[in-house]
């Protein structure tokens, strides 16, 4: 195992290029199970999670290779219907092979992903949607065993206690593409990653109306064909570099992101006194000397993303006054608070709220990465802090940030890896 060392409090400068979106790539790679024909997916980020999805596709009987940022998935014999615990438990995104397997093979046995440090993370909405399409579902020894003689179109409401679900929408949508008749998904997730999945499915021959809205209408087709496709830029990676620039007051040029996917963040930073400017597909920040505290509430898209909450909290730790974060997607996603305390932050948690009293400066410290986005928050804190920060278990970062250390070094940061 390796740890990431950061010598903080240095001015950063330069340009960073945003990679393809992890959370778009994962369901799109899973969607290749819906066809026997070859699929070529470009701009796939080289990450631990996309490597896990490649392994999973191979374990299901596909030939799946990554060359540069291009993934080629081809058939080589018959498809298997079992997604094993070892691959699903390391990455929840693996659970979205359930819908495609069921649509293609009429049966699937997929391990339940289990909880993780950001919360309980149930799959009831996935199962509700697939059941509505005519699937018999049983839970056997930690696996979802799903069978359907014929999937048939229906109307299903996929809103849950915390709003719409990204991967439940992906699973039900993919299953519906090959169902008989019309399926309407009400309260569908409208994240750009789901929109990108819809475009990929359309490129494969699927018939979907309402793309990008909370109401997806799918007319089932008999078969889908291969397709070539480009993954969208990663809005969470882009948001992380924007927050890193804001927190270190740096002049960084962020290239290749979709500004339109970042409005909730841009608006919050504007309220704090930081203007985010987009010119010719390059994002830059204009900083004001004194930042203003704000309140941030996470919501499904187009609301403020939970996947940027930890990174925003790091910025708030040095913002004068009292800032508040309310987590409405994963009410327990606050494990980073304890680590930020170790760096001198003043944060109090009350239920799903975090109350942050700005301090003058953070100090470097050894800290523990617990999940991907919490770790990204610690990287930002480490870059702002005086002295040396050691981020243990840095493999969490490798799940979702392509070439993080190289990109940071390219901006002039002093970061390096050491063996634990
Ligand atoms: N939920 C249910 N029942 C379900 C499914 C979800 O109650 O059947 C709840 C969840 O517990 C949560 C809320 O609904 O409170 C939203 O969860 P959602 O299902 O949308 O999350 P997900 O699809 O499992 C994806 C991303 C996450 C991101 C969330 C929210 C992927 C691979 N993962 O997860 O990304 O936080 O949407 O935007 O797309 C990350 O990249 O670090 C990450 C965790």
Q: What is the pLDDT of residues 232-247, one digit of tens each?
A: 999 999 999 999 999 9
Q: For residues 196, 201, 97 and 260, what is the CA-based torsion angle, rounded to 10 degrees?
A: 10
Query: Tokens at residue 194, please?
Result: 């789901």
Which ligand 1 atom lies nearest to the CA of residue 120? 11
Distance in Å, CA 89 to ligand 1 centroid = 15
DSSP state of 80: P
Distance CA 134, CA 226 (A): 26
Q: What is the mean pLDDT of the chain?
A: 96
Which ligand 1 atom lies nearest to the CA of residue 96? 32
Q: Atom 28, ligand 1: which residue's CA is nearest?
A: 307
Residue 94, H or E segment? none
Q: Are 198 and 208 in contact (CB under 8 A)?
A: yes
Report the CATH number of the 22-230 domain: 3.65.10.10
Would you say residue 115 has pLDDT above 90?
Answer: no
Task: Work out the average pLDDT over 353-378.
Answer: 97
Alpha carbon of residue 310 to chain centroid = 13
Which ligand 1 atom lies nearest to the CA of residue 300? 38
Answer whether 2-18+233-419 and 22-230 agree in fold. yes
Task: Work out the average pLDDT over 45-55.
Answer: 97
Q: Atom 24, ligand 1: which residue's CA is nearest?
A: 167
- 307 pocket-lining for ligand 1 (C-beta < 6 Å): yes
User: Which pLDDT score, from 0 to 100, does residue 378 have?
Assistant: 98
Distance in Å, CA 177 to ligand 1 centroid = 22
Q: Atom 11, ligand 1: which residue's CA is nearest?
A: 121
Q: Are 46 and 231 in contact (CB under 8 A)?
A: no
Our mutation pick for probing the ligand 1 site, out of 30, 164, 166, counting the most ligand atoms within 8 A of Cβ, is 166
Owner of token pair 């199962």: 127
Task: Work out the average pLDDT over 298-312.
Answer: 98
User: Which pLDDT score, from 0 to 100, does residue 288 have?
Assistant: 81
User: Which pLDDT score, from 0 to 100, does residue 121 have?
Assistant: 84
- Would the pTM count as exceeding 0.75? yes
Task: Work out the average pLDDT over 96-118.
Answer: 92
The phi, psi pair for 63, rounded to 5°, reads -95, 120
Would you say residue 138 has pLDDT above 80?
Answer: yes
Q: 245-258 pLDDT, tens per residue?
A: 999 999 999 999 99
Cα three-residue angle 322-324-326, rounded to 5 degrees = 170
Query: Could you say which architecture CATH assigns to the domain 2-18+233-419?
Result: Alpha-beta prism (3.65)
Which residues are known to be catalytic? Answer: 116
Distance in Å, CA 167 to ligand 1 centroid = 7
User: Which pLDDT score, from 0 to 100, does residue 289 have?
Assistant: 76
Domain limits, the chain = 2-18+233-419, 22-230
Would you say residue 5 has pLDDT above 90?
Answer: yes
Task: Work out the average pLDDT over 2-31.
Answer: 97
Which ligand 1 atom lies nearest to the CA of residue 26? 32
Sheet arrangement for strand 251-255 = 13-17, 251-255, 282-287, 274-279
Q: Atom 36, ligand 1: which residue's CA is nearest?
A: 307
With a pLDDT cut of 90, the percent of the chain lying above it is: 95
- 400 pocket-lining for ligand 1 (C-beta < 6 Å): yes
* Beta strands 2-7 and 388-392, pairing class: antiparallel
Between the alpha carbon of residue 86 and those of residues 27, 94, 124, 187, 418, the distances in Å are: 18, 10, 21, 32, 28
Query: Tokens at residue 260, please?
Result: 């339109």
Which ligand 1 atom lies nearest to the CA of residue 124? 8
- 399 pocket-lining for ligand 1 (C-beta < 6 Å): no
Strand-pair partners of 14: 252
* Beta strands 274-279 and 353-357, pairing class: unpaired
Owner of token pair 């950063």: 12
DSSP state of 180: B
- 24 pocket-lining for ligand 1 (C-beta < 6 Å): no
User: Which pLDDT score, from 0 to 100, does residue 48 have?
Assistant: 94
- 126 pocket-lining for ligand 1 (C-beta < 6 Å): yes
Query: Tokens at residue 247, please?
Result: 């927190």
Query: Tokens at residue 153, please?
Result: 């179109």
Distance in Å, CA 300 to ligand 1 centroid = 9
Neighbours of 124 (CB within 10 A): 11
Strand-pair partners of 144: 110, 139
């Amino acid at each position: 195992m390796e740890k990431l060392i950061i010598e903080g409090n240095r001015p950063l400068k330069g340009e960073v290029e945003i990679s393809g979106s992890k959370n778009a790539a994962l369901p799109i790679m899973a969607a290749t199970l819906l066809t026997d024909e070859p699929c070529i997916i470009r701009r796939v980020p080289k990450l631990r999670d996309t490597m896990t999805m490649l392994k999973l596709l191979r374990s299901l009987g596909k030939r799946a290779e990554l060359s540069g940022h291009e993934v080629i998935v081809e058939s080589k014999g018959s498809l298997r219907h079992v997604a094993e615990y070892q691959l699903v438990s390391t990455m929840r995104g693996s659970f979205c092979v359930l819908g495609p397997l069921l649509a293609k093979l009429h049966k699937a046995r997929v391990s339940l992903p289990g909880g993780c440090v950001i919360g309980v993370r149930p799959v009831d909405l996935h199962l509700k949607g697939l059941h509505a399409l005519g699937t018999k579902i049983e839970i056997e020894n930690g696996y979802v065993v799903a069978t359907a003689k014929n999937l048939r179109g229906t109307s299903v409401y996929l809103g849950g206690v915390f709003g719409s679900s990204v991967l439940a929408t992906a699973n039900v949508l993919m299953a519906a593409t090959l169902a008989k008749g019309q399926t309407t998904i009400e309260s569908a997730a409208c994240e750009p990653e789901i929109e990108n999945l819809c475009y990929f499915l359309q490129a494969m021959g699927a018939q979907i109306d309402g793309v990008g809205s909370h109401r997806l209408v799918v007319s089932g087709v008999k078969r889908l064909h291969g397709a070539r496709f480009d993954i969208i830029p990663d809005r969470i990676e882009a948001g992380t570099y924007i927050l890193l620039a804001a927190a270190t007051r740096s002049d960084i040029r962020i290239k290749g992101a979709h500004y339109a996917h970042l409005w909730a963040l841009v608006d919050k930073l504007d309220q704090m006194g930081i203007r985010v400017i987009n010119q010719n597909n390059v994002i830059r920040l204009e900083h004001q000397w004194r930042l203003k505290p704000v309140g941030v509430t996470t919501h499904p898209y187009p609301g403020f993303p939970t996947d940027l909450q930890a990174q925003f909290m790091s910025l708030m730790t040095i913002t004068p006054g009292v800032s508040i974060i309310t987590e409405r997607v994963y009410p327990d996603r606050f494990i980073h608070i304890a680590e930020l305390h170790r760096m001198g932050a003043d944060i109090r948690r009350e239920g799903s709220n975090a109350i942050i009293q700005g301090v003058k400066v953070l100090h470097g410290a050894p800290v523990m990465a617990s999940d991907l986005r919490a770790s990204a928050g610690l990287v930002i804190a480490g870059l702002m802090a005086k002295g040396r920060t050691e981020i243990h278990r840095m493999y969490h970062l490798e799940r979702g940030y392509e070439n993080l250390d190289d990109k940071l070094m390219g901006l002039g940061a002093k970061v390096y890896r050491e063996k634990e």
